[in-house]
A and B are shown apart, each in its own frame.
Chain A
């Protein structure tokens, strides 16, 4: 069977050619109300290139059966392809072993897994969990649920007015009760890239494990979990040109082995009697029930696609995009950019004087421009900047400078309507 390759035309030049890339994404040809779609909501979910769609169709039309079960051809093929996909993810993040990669339904599921599997076992009453103001609600609520249940305490790293974490304050939060750190690699609301390597090093010097929420980082840069030395790293397929319903939790094997299972069911057991169940080895211990097999295989195809485009090329191009977009939007009077960290991904969160983000979102949609408006599931960030909501344009490597121009002229048009 042939592995999925990105279409050759996107790789035919060493220079990054966004038009060639765009040709791989059928949805980008859509028109909204007669206007060409400018999809700038990639931080919420990205679009899928044809090779990934094709791979999932091929699985579903020629390879599908339940995995880890029967001895027949289809079951063996599906199992093999599912495990191949795990291996691709392992390579994508440079994990040490395949078994350190657990398929989850997404980042939220993965964090809940750690809060349950690690937290309920190793974090107790009076122990402290460090989180940051930049966290998405999905890296806040599971820990709060744990804290409510067992009396642990949550400590929060504050941010400054550029949207950067105050690292000195982070360091001061540590004490002998500190048992865990949960930090987002990149802020979904602002785009800030956090100095996680430095934060991990500091935590490890105090024997505190660190979970990194990589949902907003993995689509934009090369991730190397061994270099970061993080204990857990997680991200979702659908923000990475893959399907929804799939994500991974990377965890160091030694930690995963010590953790308790999250969900009970089939596949996660070694043997079951009504007296005693013994659990399967990792990663299966954490993959109860039939997983979304097609999605997992699509996820593998998506990281193949991104790797072929090249993550450093993507990072460089997206940096050009955000630099251009920031320069252009700054020229518009009445615009306030929310989040101006020195290191950030291609996310532009902003507010416009006297115009509510919801009105901006609705009127930009009229121009074919898809942005996200609201609190971005990051209410602590909104509270820091004293705004109820922002408009967020979040870019992917398939966005063009022309789309940035469309956004800018769209905003100016709305300002005229509200004059």
Chain B
């Protein structure tokens, strides 16, 4: 295990200067995500119209892995269709739990910097929380948790 590869400059940079951080006035979808184990929480708001994510923002308190993941996620899905976002959500989750290899066929691009988190089982949920929350927002689920029946490790994201 090498955790150095996880705390790469790009992750540290997104943690220091998170993109799309804040609230969104014209939001029409939102969701709250919690990780009760560490107290992390974030709120995702987005403007979805005619199947496109026109704008997205997040706010919350979390570790560097979670915040950088949220920052890079918002930068990636902004302007994309809901269907493309759902594909990324699935691929990101598969990568962090070891079901998808970074050199395989996928759409993750720079998001593969989170590849190393699969070696840190206790931190996988930190990386996934924003994606799980985005999925909830896109599917009109108000709040999600990383634990119990909402646990993204045990529930297929497609059914959230």
Interface residues of A (CB under 8 A from B): 33, 355-359, 362-363, 365-366, 373-375, 382, 388-389, 417-418
Contacts and interface: CB of A to CB of B under 8 A. Distances in A.
Contacts of A356: 40, 62-64
B121 to A, nearest CB: 11
A365 B6 CA distance: 13
B148 interface: no
B3 interface: yes
A359 B63 CA distance: 6
A359 B65 contact: yes
Interface string B72-113: 000000000000000000000000000000000000000000
B3 A389 contact: no
B123 A362 contact: yes
A355 B64 CA distance: 8
Nearest to A355: B64
A5 B40 CA distance: 47
A366 B3 contact: yes
A120 B37 CA distance: 31
Contacts of B63: 356-359
A166 to B, nearest CB: 25
Contacts of A373: 38
Interface in B19-73: 37-41, 61-65
B12 interface: yes
B38 A357 contact: yes
A76 B65 CA distance: 57
B46 to A, nearest CB: 25
A362 B38 contact: no
A350 to B, nearest CB: 16
Given A359-B63, A373-B38, 8 more contacts: A356-B40, A356-B62, A359-B64, A362-B6, A374-B38, A382-B39, A389-B39, A418-B16
9 contacts: A33-B1, A33-B2, A358-B40, A366-B4, A375-B38, A388-B41, A389-B39, A418-B12, A418-B15
B38 A389 contact: yes
Interface residues of B, number: 22
Nearest to B117: A362
Interface of B: 1-4, 6-7, 12, 15-16, 37-41, 61-65, 120, 123, 126
A373 B4 CA distance: 19
**B-side binding surface: helix, strand, loop or mixed?**
mixed
Contact of A388 (B1, B4, B6, B39): B39
Contacts of B126: 358
Contact of A362 (B37, B40, B61, B120): B120
B70 to A, nearest CB: 13
A368 to B, nearest CB: 12
A54 to B, nearest CB: 32
Nearest to A414: B7
A109 B136 CA distance: 38
Contact of B38 (A388, A417, A418): A388
Contacts of A355: 64
Contacts of B38: 357-358, 373-375, 388-389
Contacts of A417: 7, 12
Nearest to A383: B39
Contacts of B65: 358-359
A417 B6 CA distance: 12
B28 to A, nearest CB: 29
Contacts of B7: 359, 363, 417
Contacts of B123: 358, 362
B32 to A, nearest CB: 14
Contacts of A359: 7, 63-65
A-B complex: 3 closest residue pairs judged by Cβ atoms: A388-B39, A356-B63, A358-B63
Given A362-B120, A365-B3, A418 B64 contact: yes
A389 B64 CA distance: 14
A364 B74 CA distance: 29
A382 B38 CA distance: 11
A358 B122 CA distance: 9
A277 to B, nearest CB: 37
Contacts of B40: 356, 358, 388
Contacts of A358: 38, 40, 63, 65, 123, 126
Nearest to A375: B39
Chain A CB within 10 Å, residue with most, of B4, B7, B40: B7
